[in-house]
Amino acid sequence: MSTPTTTSSAAIAASTPSFGLGIGRSLRLGFSRIKLEVRSYFRQGDSVFFTFLFPVVMLTIFAVAFSEQNFGTEEEPLTAAAFYLPGMIAAGLLLSGLQNMAIDIAMERSDGTLKRLAGTPLPVMSYFIGKIGQVFVTGVLQAALVILVASVAFDVELPSEPSKWVTFAWVFVLGVTTSAVLGIALSGLPRSGKSATAVVIPVALVLQFISGVYLGFSMLPEWLQNFASIFPLKWMAQGMREVFLPASFEVMEQSESWNLPGVAIATGLWLVIGLIMTRITFRWIRKDS
């Protein structure tokens, strides 16, 4: 057994005043957290399956099950894979962000991870950078995989105009960030890690059904469409439809328009709400519980 070397406490005391120098240190530790979080994510079998691969699995099921059906018109046919692609990408945003974060952080709260971190000089900001970074990295890989499978396995024609990809980029970045932040805000809701899955998954599932992910949004009654419009997923899915569906589908949207400004405003609003909720509700630990 060897003796660890110690830095003298005088040296520590001397360096303490400069220690608080915030932003640079928060960012450095934030990136260090992202590395650790991503590594840990892909080593967790259930999160890889239920969060990461889920949209690909669902896309495959729909594409195969409805392979004989035409989702377009006589003149402009559309395969099931092409029809479901935007919805699956939007679902991925919700799963990688909201569902994954809400469950992950609730688990970390109940298994003692957060308590341990609370006792270290890790800034809360770095922890959040790590979480959002993890969502971003896994979300990008997930979307790339869904698009790749759609294009290679099911011959879905991808948009060629750069403007469509610009829309894709901003809807994606805004959507994934909003979804992650809302997940962090929601993580305080379950009272224990074990109940987190039971609380969060139904919420996410209902949202997916009413927001045009599994059921065509135009099939829903108007009151349900209006209700779904309160939540951000409907808007993310709508943004993705603008990117991947033919222009002739625009008339089937609410107000017969892709309404991209609406997508930006509604999603942005939820981002702000999520940030405020996180700021108010997030604690490393529930004191005195």
Q: What is the contact surface with another protein in residues (CB under 8 A)?
A: 1-9, 11-13, 15-17, 19-20, 28-29, 32-33, 35-36, 39-41, 43-44, 107-108, 111-113, 115-116, 118-123, 285, 287-288
Q: How far is CA 80 from CA 71, 148, 168, 177, 184, in A?
A: 6, 16, 20, 28, 34
Three-state DSSP at 120 gives coil
Which token pair is 91? 């679902």
Which token pair is 100? 């994954």
Is 21 or 230 the residue whose CB approaches another protein more closely?
21
Is 18 or 255 the residue whose CB approaches another protein more closely?
18
Is 32 or 151 the residue whose CB approaches another protein more closely?
32
CB of 205 to another protein, least distance (A): 24
Residue whose token pair is 């930006």: 264
CB of 196 to another protein, least distance (A): 13
Q: How far is CA 223 from CA 218, 219, 276, in A?
A: 12, 12, 29
Is 15 or 248 the residue whose CB approaches another protein more closely?
15
Residues recorded for the chain: 289
Which region holds residue 52: left if phi is over 0, alpha if psi is between -120 and 50, else beta?
alpha
* Whole-angstrom distance, CA of residue 140 vs CA of residue 253: 26
Is 15 or 67 the residue whose CB approaches another protein more closely?
15
CB of 145 to another protein, least distance (A): 21
CB of 151 to another protein, least distance (A): 32
CB of 172 to another protein, least distance (A): 27
